[in-house]
């Protein structure tokens, strides 16, 4: 585990929306112009709102000349592997060696079955993917003598003619999260391709360990397997983003970062402001030897281990802290207001005499990381609701997905959530019964009105989640009425995003001074 030494690559994910097809193509061409290495698209052939992935990649290949192309990721149950092998090789030949193959075992089984695909249980779907990879590689090997034969439980080749051969060795990158799929990656795949929204802290390290062990058992070198990561949309400051990506490269071995882009400016800004900083930080760390943290990059430091310097007296609170709470964009989707924002209590802001330690800054950043996990889950939930609307997922499956989310478990509030997920930063174990809010209120009584309000809002959010669940239940008997689900998810979105922004505005700075728990109070500079 750690840094696998891969050359860093950056890619984009572009939503293949049929209603804005020209924009999809334009963004893909702009990615090449901006210097990205890879353009990727989801493969949801069961969604009438999505362009077909293979058709889109072929069209984009004709409009570009350098950038590589891949699905993110292909649904094998609707793509027979023998036909898929020829399609991928053909695109690679036509694009002069720019096709890659992202592939998965399949999701949204109701939608797959509705289109004539076979419904497979989890074990069979992994087994079918493994057989499919063998079939694909067998047909790509045009230099092998004789026709191709393969006999599996799910797929077979009965004397198929091999070829055409791809122009280059197409990489097979597998979207995987669970141990059996991870072991398949280690045995067979060229890359592991997870998504941040589906990961908890420690999952990358744990996944790498499973993959590496499986690779070693199969006689493969773990570093031969590239680690890719879908980041989602990135809106944090460039320096902070670059520092985090450099850490992921050096500590978790990520070699390819895929950012979700919705507009040209965001695409250009990431390519010009974030990617170069990450490359430089990782390169300098590698020059210093294994285990080295990223060094500061130029005048805009992105080093994650270098001491952060306090701003000169008189700077704003955020400038002195070096951490920016997530703003409330005040965009409301629902006609209902979960509460009156104007009645929220506010703490006093710190004065210019207050400065912060590196430990304090890490503690305050951890709150934002926890919230980002929840924002990611909310984004996933909204996508699930869209799939229910499109008929790509049944309401029952959507409920099952909701019930697996941390925000559904009634323990995502700061104290309990950090007890589960924050050990790497807090260095504190056995704290499941500890409570952050009482600690902060004891240390700083002026925070009590804020904490009381946050606690009240937690209950509102809990009720909003319950409302989404009830709407999904109702949809099972009245699938024609999607308005109730949409109204519930919009109300939850307004409540959760507003609440998380308020909590960061009021607690990021106190946490930097007081810590999560009494034995973690940072010492001021």
HEC secondary structure over 420-473: HHCHHHHCCCCCCCCCHHHHHHHHCHHHHHHHHHHHHHHHHHHHHHHHHHHHHH
Element (H or E) spanning 47, and its range?
A: none
The pLDDT score that the predictor gives to residue 338 is 93
CA–CA separation, 437 and 414 (whole Å): 8
The pLDDT score that the predictor gives to residue 303 is 28
Question: What are the structural domains of the chain?
Answer: 9-288 (3.20.20.30), 317-520 (no CATH)
* CA 468 to chain centroid: 23
Element (H or E) spanning 298, and its range?
A: none
71 exposure class (CB count in 10 Å sphere: 0-12, 13-18, 19+): buried
CA–CA separation, 240 and 324 (whole Å): 10
Look at phi and psi of residue 425 and say left if phi exceeds 0, alpha if psi is from -120 to 50, else beta: alpha
The pLDDT score that the predictor gives to residue 9 is 98
H helix intervals, 104-178? 109-114, 122-140
DSSP structure class, residue 262: S
DSSP structure class, residue 290: T
Q: Which residues, in sequence order, are CB contacts of 234 under 8 Å at separation 6+?
A: 241, 259, 260, 266, 270, 274
CA–CA separation, 339 and 269 (whole Å): 36
The pLDDT score that the predictor gives to residue 293 is 60
Longest distance between any two alpha carbons in the chain, whole Å: 80
Angle between helices 53-63 and 81-94 (to 10 degrees): 10
Q: Which residues of the chain have pLDDT under 50?
A: 296-314, 411, 414-434, 517-525
The pLDDT score that the predictor gives to residue 360 is 74
Other beta carbons less than 10 A from residue 404's beta carbon:
10
Quote the pTM value.
0.60
CA–CA separation, 417 and 359 (whole Å): 20
Pairing of strands 148-151, 156-160: antiparallel
The pLDDT score that the predictor gives to residue 291 is 57
CA–CA separation, 339 and 464 (whole Å): 12
Pairing of strands 9-13, 191-192: unpaired
CB 258 within 8 A of CB 13: yes
């Amino acid at each position: 585990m750690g840094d696998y030494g891969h050359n860093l690559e950056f890619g984009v994910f572009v939503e293949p929306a049929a209603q804005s097809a020209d924009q999809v193509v334009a963004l893909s061409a702009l990615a090449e112009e901006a210097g990205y290495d890879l353009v990727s698209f989801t493969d949801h052939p069961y969604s009438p709102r999505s362009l077909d992935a293979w058709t889109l990649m072929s069209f984009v290949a004709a409009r570009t000349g350098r950038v590589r192309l891949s699905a993110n990721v292909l649904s094998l149950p609707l793509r027979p592997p023998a036909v898929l092998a020829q399609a991928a090789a053909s695109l690679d030949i036509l694009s002069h060696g720019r096709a890659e193959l992202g592939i998965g075992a399949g999701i949204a089984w109701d939608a797959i079955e509705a289109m004539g695909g076979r419904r497979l249980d989890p074990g069979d779907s992994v087994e079918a993917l493994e057989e499919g990879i063998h079939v694909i590689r067998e047909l790509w090997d045009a230099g092998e003598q004789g026709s191709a034969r393969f006999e599996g439980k799910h797929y077979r080749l009965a004397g198929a003619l091999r070829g055409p051969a791809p122009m280059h060795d197409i990489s097979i990158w597998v979207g995987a999260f669970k141990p059996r799929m991870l072991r398949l990656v280690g045995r067979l795949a060229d890359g592991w391709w997870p998504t941040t929204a589906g990961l908890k802290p420690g999952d990358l390290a744990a996944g790498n360990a499973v993959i590496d062990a499986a690779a070693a058992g199969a006689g493969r070198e773990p570093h031969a397997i590239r680690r890719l990561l879908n980041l989602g949309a990135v809106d944090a400051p460039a320096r902070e983003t670059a520092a985090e990506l450099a850490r992921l490269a050096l500590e978790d071995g990520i070699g390819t970062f895929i950012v979700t882009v919705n507009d040209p400016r965001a695409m250009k800004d990431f390519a010009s402001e974030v990617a170069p900083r990450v490359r430089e930080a990782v390169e300098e760390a590698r020059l210093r030897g294994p285990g080295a943290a990223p060094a500061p990059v130029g005048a805009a430091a992105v080093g994650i281990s270098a001491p952060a310097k306090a701003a000169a007296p008189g700077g704003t609170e955020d400038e002195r802290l070096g951490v920016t709470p997530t703003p409330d964009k005040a965009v409301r989707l629902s006609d209902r207001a979960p509460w009156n924002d104007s009645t929220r209590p506010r703490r006093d802001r710190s004065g210019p005499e207050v400065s912060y330690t590196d430990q304090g800054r890490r503690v305050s950043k951890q709150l934002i990381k926890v919230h980002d996990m929840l924002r990611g889950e909310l984004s996933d939930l909204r996508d699930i609701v869209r799939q229910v609307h499109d008929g790509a997922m049944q309401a029952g499956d959507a409920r099952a997905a909701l019930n697996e989310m941390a925000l559904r478990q009634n323990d995502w509030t700061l104290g309990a959530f950090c007890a589960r997920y924050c050990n790497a930063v807090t260095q504190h174990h056995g704290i499941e019964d500890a409570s952050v809010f009482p600690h902060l209120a004891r240390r700083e009584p002026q925070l009590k009105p804020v904490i009381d309000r946050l606690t009240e809002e937690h209950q509102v959010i809990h009720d909003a989640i319950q409302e989404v669940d009830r709407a999904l239940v109702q949809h099972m008997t009245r699938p024609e009425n999607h308005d109730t689900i949409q109204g519930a998810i919009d109300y939850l979105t307004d409540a959760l995003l507003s609440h998380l922004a308020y909590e960061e505005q009021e607690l990021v700075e106190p946490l930097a001074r007081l810590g999560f728990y009494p034995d973690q109070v940072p010492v001021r500079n």
